[in-house]
Amino acid sequence: MKGWDTHCLVRHLTEDDAGQLVIVRAELEKAARKGDVIWLSSVTLVETAWVLQSYGLRKKEVLEVLQSVVTDERFRVEGGSDVAAAIGRARVKGDLPEHLTALAAKRNGAVKTQTFDRAVAKFPEFEVLG
């Protein structure tokens, strides 16, 4: 298994650099032929979300793209169930990184994730300060 960084995933998703697109698609096909997957860190997904937003995609569109990555069998996503849950929660309120942070904290024994962001107050993992 090989991992991709944000640059590789963005090339795959946006097809914005023809030369690099050919390379990443070839790597994806090579992995598939070997019965392997490409590993993606949750950091890569968060960075990809930021890049896609900088390209002008709306939050809803970014979350749809990331959901398609999480469910794509060619990829193995770090904390895949947390990422999928964070995407779902971000569709309701808040942003992907804060939900990923809270879910990872919970998985690692934190009772609550403290924040000043009142937008996420309804989610049980958060404790709003102030």
Domain locations along the chain: 2-78, 93-130
Q: Sign of the CA dihedral 107, 112, 118, 120?
A: positive
Confidence of residue 74 (pLDDT cuts 50, 70, 90): very high
Residue 1 burial (CB < 10 Å; 0-12/13-18/19+)? exposed
Number of other residues whose CB lies within 10 A of the CB of residue 17: 13
Confidence of residue 55 (pLDDT cuts 50, 70, 90): very high
Residues 88-125: tens digit of each pLDDT: 999 999 999 999 999 999 999 999 999 999 999 999 99
Tell me how far apart the alpha carbons of residues 31 and 27 are, in angstroms, rounded to a whole number: 6
Tokens of 26: 């070839």
3-state DSSP helix/strand/coil % of the chain, to nearest 5 = 60, 10, 30
